[in-house]
Every structure is written in structure tokens, then in C-alpha cells.
Amino acid sequence: AQSVTQLGSHVSVSEGALVLLRCNYSSSVPPYLFWYVQYPNQGLQLLLKYTTGATLVKGINGFEAEFKKSETSFHLTKPSAHMSDAAEYFCAVSRNTGTASKLTFGTGTRLQVTL
């Protein structure tokens, strides 16, 4: 069984400040890990993913995440927040069996960026 925990349903940062969104996972097999972003009234867009290899992965819009197996974490960071980053962010996990169609999502973190 897999599960994802996102700490903090709402995070507020000032423009230019560091963004840190936390994600911890539970998986009985080596996981695939994802971060998706959802802008208002839109579908989900992939920010970045970890499958194998380098544990620090870079995504779109300046975001990156580091897979830490010992901590079962996959936190999302961005050095400097921009107003356009305001959205809801979802961490997700799937089994690395090739059937990545079965995603387990966290409950989401809404990011607010203030002036």
C-alpha cells in the first residue's frame, strides 16, 4: 500500500522568499514520486518527477525536489517565490512497476504569495 502526507494545507510566503512544501510518502516498493501543480479551474500539470537515478530533480518554473529515502521525503523547494506561483500543489506516488496510471495523491498544499 502507498500513502502520501503533505504537511500544511496552506502555506503563505512573501514574494522573493524561499518556498518549501513538504511531502512524506509510504511505499512498500521503490516509488516513483511526483509533484503536480493546479492553477484555479484547471487540470493538473506535472512540475517534476523522480523515478531513478539522481535524487535531486529539477522541474519547470524553477522548482526542484530531493528524494531522501532515509527520511521517506520528497520536499518541493524554490529559492525565490513569484506571484505566479500561487496555486495548489499535490505530491503523488506510484509503484515503479510501469503502471504509473495508479497515482496516490496527498491532500494538497495551497501556496499563497504575498507582496
Partner 1 sequence: NAGVTQTPKFQVLKTGQSMTLQCAQDMNHEYMSWYRQDPGMGLRLIHYSVGAGITDQGEVPNGYNVSRSTTEDFPLRLLSAAPSQTSVYFCASIGTGQTEAFFGQGTRLTVV
CB of 106 to partner 1, least distance (A): 5
Residue 24 burial by CB count (10 A; 0-12/13-18/19+): exposed, middle or buried?
A: middle
SS3 content of the chain, % helix, strand, coil (to 5): 10, 55, 35
Question: Per rule CB under 8 A, is residue 112 in the interface with partner 1?
Answer: no
Taking CB under 8 A as the binding criterion, the range among 18-26, 41-49, 61-69, 72-80 that sits at the site for partner 1 is: 41-49
Cell numbers placing 54: 539522481
CB of 95 to partner 1, least distance (A): 11
In the stretch 66-105, what mask flags binding to partner 1 with x, by CB under 8 A? ------------------------x-x-x---xxxxxxxx
Question: Per rule CB under 8 A, is residue 40 in the interface with partner 1?
Answer: no
> Dihedral of CA 16/63/38/73: which sign?
negative
Q: Using the minimum distance from each CB to partner 1, give the nearer residue, 45 or 112.
A: 45
Question: Per rule CB under 8 A, is residue 44 in the interface with partner 1?
Answer: yes
Q: Please name which of 109, 91, 76 lies closest in space to residue 2, comparing C-alpha atoms.
A: 91
